[in-house]
Amino acid sequence: MPSSADGGAADASGERPGFAEEALPYLDAVYRFALGLTASADEAEDLVQETFLRALRSWDQYTRGTRAKSWLFTICRNVFLRERQRTRRHEEILSESVDRSGPARAHAVSPLWASVEDVDPEGGFFGKVVDARILEAIFELPEEYRTAVVLSDVEGLSYAEIAELVQVPVGTVKSRLFRGRRRLQELLYEHAVEMGYLPSAAEKGIAG
Amino acid sequence: MTIFDRLGSFFGRERRYDGSAAISCDDAVRRVQEFLDGELEDVSPEEVRAHFDACQRCYPHLRFEESFREAVRRAAGRETAPPELRERLLRLISEARSDG
């Protein structure tokens, strides 16, 4: 690695901070976002590389003061969508059906909660599920849900920031987020029952 | 003011003070997601927090969602870009710089 790699500030243009200094701190975040989009480590790597190269090329258009993280996420998502449009058009159509039941109905109590109310009302079983299984479960979510969950629960973006990034209304973000979380909770619950962290519904039936 | 009024206002104030009467169980549980997301619109986070703190029935709902989020954040937040990718990017960036 050249020792001048950190020396962006010494560029002839001078007044702008170097790309590496501004963008690379978000490499892990962009990688996690790319994982959320692609649900594949290999694809995420390619996507991140392409994202940073494109960002570098359009570095002149980056306005200082905008959040570099959001800017990189936007580029990442655009690259991903363009790539996917080229390769797998049908998936987009498929995933559009995801939101049909409309927003806001997923607000109330998790339907799952009734299943654990007697044995683990505070959801301690979530903490027992190993990281790898949680990641797998995230990958199993429909893409729209997955993206919303990663951006909110992992990267801490606000509803409005996600809405802007994904180009949908805030209500849709909430709907995707809440449904995604519910679905993820179900997947983790099923796993916890399989692993014996929780009794199965049948066992509970016998006990009761 | 009758003794009943006084009692009423006394208990009313008491309940408002601990927050448990300010919003119903239904309202609190329905808003648990927005509350944890810091995105409440029509009620203050203090009101919702006060309800969960004071209500034995609702508190587990809050903990349930918190446990879930902690697990997701822990699992996914631990993922980092592979070191090879970082090195490759640094190389590509410095190459691009010397080209331009």
How would CATH label the architecture of A106-207? Orthogonal Bundle (1.10)
Dihedral (CA of A163, A166, A167, A169) sign: negative
Residue type (1 letter), A144: E
Residue type (1 letter), A19: F
- What is the pLDDT averaged over residues B27-47? 94
Q: Where in chain A is the domain with CATH 1.10.10.10?
A: 106-207
* DSSP secondary structure letter of residue A62: P
Residue spans of alpha helices (H) in chain B = 3-18, 25-30, 32-37, 45-54, 59-77, 83-99
The whole-angstrom distance between B65's CA and the closest CA on chain A is 7
ipTM value: 0.79
Which pLDDT tens digits describe chain A residue by residue (208 residues)? 444 444 444 444 444 568 888 899 999 999 999 999 999 999 999 999 999 999 999 888 887 767 889 999 999 999 999 988 887 655 544 444 454 444 444 456 777 888 899 999 999 999 999 999 999 999 999 999 999 999 999 999 999 999 999 999 999 999 999 999 999 999 999 999 999 999 887 676 554 4
**pLDDT of B52 higher than 60:** yes
**Would you say A144 and A99 are in contact if contact means Cβ atoms under 8 Å apart?**
yes
B-chain residue closest to A186, CA distance: B68
Q: Where in chain A is the domain with CATH 1.10.1740.10?
A: 14-96
Chain CA centroid to CA A10, Å = 36
**Would you say A160 and A152 are in contact if contact means Cβ atoms under 8 Å apart?**
no
Tell me the domain boundaries of chain B: 3-99
From the list B38, B71, B79, which residue is nearest A126 (CB)?
B71
What CATH code would you report for A14-96? 1.10.1740.10
Question: Which residues, at least 6 apart from B27, have a Cβ–Cβ distance to it below 8 Å?
Answer: B43, B51
What per-residue confidence (pLDDT) applies to A12?
46
pTM of the model: 0.78
CB contacts, 8 Å: A138 with chain B: 72, 75-76
